[in-house]
Amino acid sequence: MHEVIFSRLILCSLLCLSMMLAKPAHPQGSRGDDRLPVLYGVKLDSTQITIDVESFGCTDASYFSVQLDPASSDTYHLSIVRRRQDRCRMSAHVVGLTLDLPKVPNLTSAKFFLMNNLAAPITLHRSDR
């Protein structure tokens, strides 16, 4: 009798431990670094920036915003910030999105340091919307 109870206790403990160690399929958005998505490409053009990001089928430009933090008089830290997660269920692919840059004095002489990480361009297939 005690052996059955003991074996069930061990089984439940192992199950709980495996659930705690399991990694979620998609980021849950609880960590601060999830807000800066990995970019698969970036192109700065006048007053807009075009980014290549991972999509699961619903991602559009409204999912992101551009944040500029001054580092010096003509230098900015540029961050592409994820505002919400793509909860669709398509297979992951890369989409290109165009976002407007905030107003910057002397845009032609401004320098930008990208704060997002860049991914290898061949890790996901590209889907042109």
pTM tops 0.85:
no
Please give the chain's pLDDT, 129 residues, in tens.
666 565 565 655 544 444 445 444 444 433 445 689 999 999 998 889 999 999 999 999 999 999 999 999 899 999 999 999 999 999 999 999 999 999 988 888 899 999 999 987 666 666 665
Instruction: Tell which residue, 50, 27, 53, has the closest CA to residue 40.
Output: 53
The SS3 call for residue 11 is helix
What's the rounded Cα separation, in Å, for the pair 87 and 81?
17
Cα 75 to Cα 43, 44, 104, 114, 117: the distances in Å are 17, 15, 10, 11, 19
